[in-house]
Chain A
Amino acid sequence: MKNNDYKKFYNSPEDALEGLLFDGMTIMSGGFGLCGLPENLILSLRDSGVKNLTVISNNAGTEGHGLGLLLETKQISKAISSYVGENKLFEKQYLSKEIELEFNPQGTLAERIRAGGAGIPAFFTATGVGTLVSKNKEHKTIKGKEYILESGLISDLSLVKAWKGDKAGNLIYRKTARNFNPVMATAGKNTVAEVEEICEVGELDPDQIHTPGIYVKRIIKGLNYSKAIENLTLSED
């Protein structure tokens, strides 16, 4: 019998983060808006008290949700994001210079993370040419078109949320809750995943896996998902 205990399954988010946190670290956190957030791991990160964090995430959460929780406790010192519009507390901390902000175009952010996870140190892109984003970056003309050089990103720790996962760390996402989670899973020196449904090895169809288990160091079953809706919009008829 093959040993199917991958020792990746942990009983709680606290256990799963044990030994992986330190002040000043860089953390990637999956999600788009409030969709597909690693809610349990963010709460646990807050309760750990770890501080001076650089957080790479598309958005900065909202009051009481997502990374908004870490803003309340002033654990974030720098954010790399594409859009932080919905967060008043972020705005306040940014204007009072408590927090540093680096805006990346959303696709550049996604590709920097993908590149980081794939061992690609940098890549050329047309996105941002002629804008503030291109400032102090290497420019190159390839086949008559101008590009700028963007670097790959990796994190000390990536926190991701999936729908289902197994104890070998294989993950399956649901609908648009996938977003940044799969690329961030690849770009963490350590990646911890939380899932709504945890399966035994062999229960998931290998053809349906979005994130292969090699990228996931630890996995937990998340509890009490709030899955808040930021902008409830309904059809009139």
Chain B
Amino acid sequence: MSWNRAEMCKRAALELKDGFYVNLGIGMPTLVANYIDKQKNITLQSENGMLGMGPFPKPGMQDPDLINAGKQTITSLPESSYFSSADSFAMIRGGHIDLSILGAMQVSKQGDLANWMIPGKMVKGMGGAMDLVAGVKKVLVLMDHNAKDGSPKIVNNCDLPLTGKKVVDLIITNLGVFEINQGVKVKEIADNVTKESLINKTETELLF
């Protein structure tokens, strides 16, 4: 047993604190938006140039001039603002964004992140990931604990090309929550997951 995608997203949403400005990456991180506590005031940033991202539009209400970084149609909110790509990344690099949630292929015990390139395969590009991990206050990785072939994704050293060095603060997987702080500290274990199976499925040493 372990957490499913919805449970992982729900757990990640708890890391969004009241008043936070947050950037959600493409894929599973985008789904975290569905689990944000309505009592909290959270502003979502889209790096193509928008603060205050609203939900996806109702059929017929889509606007080709209004998309998110995943090129999905979205809507605005009363508090929304638009700006250029340069302003958007000034916001990111200037440390004004509180939290970024991204997917990953590998994370090392030092917090190195690899999520953009597999040598020998066609490279799509890093998009804004390198800027985000270098600039935002806190980086949360949301990913499956193991790759499709079962290989561990929390490793001693990333063998894939890096997106950033020593940039990850927290990892949420289907098996638990892990903090990078002079090693990988286990903060929570998913329901019905044993300590032994967690150790077996992780390359690097876990601190309990």
Contacts and interface: CB of A to CB of B under 8 A. Distances in A.
Interface in A163-192: 163, 173-183
Contacts of B135: 107, 126-127
Given A83-B126, A127-B93, A106 B131 contact: yes
Contacts of B163: 131
Interface stretch (B2-10, B71-79, B179-187, B191-199): B71-79
Contacts of A125: 93, 134
A113 B88 CA distance: 14
A111 B86 contact: yes
B96 to A, nearest CB: 13
A120 to B, nearest CB: 12
Contacts, number: 173
Interface stretch (A8-16, A201-209, A225-233): A225-233
A108 to B, nearest CB: 7
B57 A82 contact: no
Nearest to B84: A182
B194 to A, nearest CB: 35
A142 interface: no
A1 interface: no
Contact of B93 (A58, A109, A126): A126
A180 B83 CA distance: 10
Contact of A234 (B73, B82, B93, B131): B73
Given A113-B86, A176-B66, A178-B83, A131 B122 contact: no
A129 interface: yes
A32 B85 contact: yes
Nearest to A163: B65
Contacts of B55: 235
Interface of B: 46-50, 55-59, 62-68, 70-74, 76, 82-86, 88-90, 92-93, 112, 117, 122-131, 134-135, 161-166
Interface of A: 32-36, 58, 81-86, 91, 94-95, 103, 105-111, 113-114, 125-133, 163, 173-183, 210, 227-235
Given A58-B85, A179-B85, 11 more contacts: A32-B71, A36-B65, A103-B123, A110-B86, A126-B135, A131-B161, A132-B162, A176-B49, A179-B48, A182-B86, A229-B73
